[in-house]
Amino acid sequence: MHARCQRSVDIVADYTGLMVLVVSPKIPVNDPKPVPPAEPDPADCCGEGCVPCVYDRYDEERERYKADLAAWQARHPGE
């Protein structure tokens, strides 16, 4: 099992007296909520049309953040 995941295991006795192993879905361990990227300061852009511009990189980081956040929310419903 990966070190970042753990399974919750319960042993339950059913009505026949047999022991049943119940394994819950993987629960992420040490899975912090993604943090949005810091917006560049206007002084960070030279205004000369650089490719990529600091704002282009920010937009890429923002899209990656949105995807990471959606994946995190899927792993942590209700948070």
Average pLDDT (6-26) is: 56
In this prediction the pTM is 0.62
Domain boundaries, the chain: 1-30, 32-79
CA atoms within 13 A on the CB side of 51: 0
Q: Which of 49, 4, 42, 50 is nearest to 26 (CA)?
A: 4
The pLDDT tens digits for 43-65 are 999 999 999 999 999 999 999 99
pLDDT for the residue numbered 44:
94
- Higher pLDDT: 58 or 17? It is 58
Please name the amino acid found at residue 7.
R
pLDDT for the residue numbered 3:
44
